[in-house]
Structure 1
Amino acid sequence: MRTAFGQEFDVPEGYLNTASIGIPPADAGAAVAAAVAGWRAGAGSPGDFDEPVARARAGFADLVGVAAERVAIGPAASALVGLVAAAVPDGTRVLAAEGEFTSVTWPFAAQAGRGVTVTEVDLADVGARAGEFDLVAVSVVQSADGRVVDLDALRAARDGGTRVLLDATQSLGWLDVDVSWADAVVAAGYKWLLSPRGVAWMAVRPDLPTHANAAGWYAGADPWTAIYGLPMDLATDARGLDTSPAWYCQAGAAVALPWLAGLDRAAVHAHCAGLADTVRAGLGMEPAGSAIVAVRRPDAAERLAAAGVVSANRAGAARLAFHLYNTEADAARALDALT
């Protein structure tokens, strides 16, 4: 058991795979276990989960820097991005990064029948090209290699009229940046937000067109009176985009997200990126200020696995990811394996 930033984590030595699956704080895991135990014993009631859903929503809002009324809940990032993609006008021109995670690009590519086009450019060119397009859809931090998009350039493009949708799945929870200005900020919970898989959130600006094409009872102005019949009475804020919550997943998120939101973001960023840059320096790479390191060396994945380092293979590289529960010993183990 490790202690980090005031929480305990049952994380093994050499676990450097948060970019795939985050390890929850012990309290968050216990909350999920208690919720499942109540389910097994027939002691749970649907209304019991309204409070955890609200707490997780508020935690996400605090992490992004917006009001909770601007946050919608969903099961995965692509499902929430799809609510935006379904509402863009016919012929919308979308800009994306080459090799972008498909949960960001495919919801827009699926609108090709309406004349929606998606143009891919190198990540380094996204900021400079943004003003040529109607909407930019891009990850703040690239999943495959940890590169960070030029947020200042995107913010300037937005001031010029380009809509900006950011996927913060690989950044929110460790990266100390302001994304509250974006038209939409989406993130899945099961990586850096240390929540169970099955929960995601999206912060949307009130003037961003969206399409509630997955509307159900939980999107109602009063969900508990919106269970049967018509007419449809959607909530007038972002809750009108909600899908029915994954209760047991939300129980864990209700612990993890408010805790993350209360941390010193700069200290978390310095810790995570500092460990990653230690590995970069040991491998002769330039510092990047990112918590994700892509190692493109022969047999890197095999060497890491043999040393007990848990990593991932992405885009032809061994991917290492350092979160707040990782230590200098984890970085040293990875370097020993690779050098």
Structure 2
Amino acid sequence: MLEGGTRYPDWLVVEQRLRERLARLINAADPDDIALVKNTSEGLSIVSQGLDWRDGDEVVGLHGDFCSNEMVWQALADRGVRYSAVDALATDDPEAALIAALGERTRLLALSTVHFATGYRFDVTRVVEACHMRGVLVSLDAIQSLGAVKFDLQSTPADFVVAGGHKWLLSPEGLGFLYCRPALRELLTLHQFGWAMRDRPYEFESSGWRPALSARRFESGTPNMTGIHALDASLSLFEDVGLAYVEKRVVENIAYLDERLRGIDGVEIATPAGSPHRAGILTFRHTRIPGQTLHASLMAKRVICSPRAGGIRLAPHFYTPEKILERTIEHIDQTIQNIIKNN
């Protein structure tokens, strides 16, 4: 605080380094393709409000996706855009169900890389390929996968990728990013304006301006420098540890929980079996205990979990040791027994 703005040039170095780290995280070609946004919802809104929609256009999405990834497209109804939600997770082949829903008026498919409640990991490469063959754009909400499992933009060339940094990326709330395919950048109409989105942002007394040619054109005002430093530090950790190791440990943790939970009477696993469709989330239900009841009891014992899909969502990160997972299973088993005994 005593130094005031004397360190601001150093902060700008960290900001640029963060863009470079984020580009490496998703294997984007250029840090200029990365915009820093407040959260996933803001990034999705920049895309949804920026595209040049025509009356009768359609957006295909997933029934039961996280609400933000439905709302931003549903809000286009007054512009004549129809949002079609496909109940793909109720089928044996969710990707095929989404692809089959693409029609002549479909302009964009919006999807989360990993379902927030069940933990289903979509084969987004298959979906993107099918969409692009039909001339359909793809917007991916990647907050439930980045930092847990690898994502490669070169093999999965989505048009837009958005994620906040506060989940698997281990950063505070309030900062995320938007990737926009370079060819589409200037086609998105801007709806937010401020000094930071100009091509020469620090020439405060200049009379004229134009938007930056880079993805910084989507950043209207003062950057979240605290969040920038935090996310930069988090990504430094991931680069030191290695994303391949992170994914290996995350998948191993989920496999361990799955095996142990199946040994508890009355437990049903909601997350699909098999590593291709698993990331870092495992959701289970109990046949006799409501999810909210079980959640409250587990949280009282400091078992960190979330009530999702009528059950309990567990999401241990790569650094969670097996002894903690074992204690978690013991707490879950004992809690279930106590609830049943007292009812």
- Under TM normalisation by the shorter chain, which class is it? 0.7 to 0.9
1:165 and 2:139 matched: yes
Residue-by-residue CA offset, 1:110-147 (whole Å, 9 max, x unaligned): 12111111111124155433643321111101111211
Contact 2:145–2:168 (8 Å) recurs in 1? yes
Q: Determine the structure 2 residue equivalent to 1:81.
A: 44
Q: Which runs of 5+ in 2 are unaligned?
A: 89-93, 263-268, 334-343
1:213 and 2:191 matched: yes
Give 1:64's match in structure 2, choosing from 26, 31, 34: 26
Give 1:292's match in structure 2, choosing from 278, 281, 289: 281
Q: Flag the structure with larger Rg.
A: 2
1:108 and 2:43 matched: no
Give the paired residue count.
Answer: 299
After superposition, the CA RMSD in angstroms is 2.1
1:90 and 2:54 matched: yes
CA distance in 2, matches of 1:243, 1:262: 32
Following superposition, the deviation at residue 75 of structure 1 comes to 0.7
Tell me the SS of whatever aligns to 1:211. Answer: coil
1:323 and 2:317 matched: yes
Tell me the SS of whatever aligns to 1:296. Answer: strand
Contact 1:272–1:291 (8 Å) recurs in 2? yes
1:246 and 2:224 matched: yes
1:146 and 2:119 matched: yes
Contact 1:138–1:167 (8 Å) recurs in 2? yes
- Alpha-carbon distance change, 262 to 155 in structure 1, aligned in 2, over 3 angstroms: farther
Contact 1:174–1:323 (8 Å) recurs in 2? yes
Q: How does 1:189-204 map to 2 (within 5 A)?
A: 189-204=165-180
Query: RCO (CA 8 Å, sep 6+): is it higher in 1 or 2?
Result: 1
Following superposition, the deviation at residue 87 of structure 1 comes to 2.4
CA distance in 2, matches of 1:172, 1:264: 13
Give 2:237's match in structure 1, choosing from 250, 259, 263: 259
Tell me the SS of whatever aligns to 2:182. Answer: coil
Aligned AA (2:47): V
- After alignment, is 74-83 or 241-250 more displaced? 241-250
CA distance in 1, matches of 2:325, 2:188: 43
CA distance in 2, matches of 1:51, 1:301: 43
Following superposition, the deviation at residue 229 of structure 1 comes to 6.5
* TM-score (norm. length: structure 2): 0.81
Following superposition, the deviation at residue 102 of structure 1 comes to 2.0
CA distance in 2, matches of 1:215, 1:257: 29
Tell me the SS of whatever aligns to 2:83. Answer: strand
Contact 1:128–1:153 (8 Å) recurs in 2? no
Following superposition, the deviation at residue 51 of structure 1 comes to 1.8
CA distance in 1, matches of 2:205, 2:26: 34
Residue-by-residue CA offset, 1:287-326 (whole Å, 9 max, x unaligned): 4532101121224324533543111122322111121221
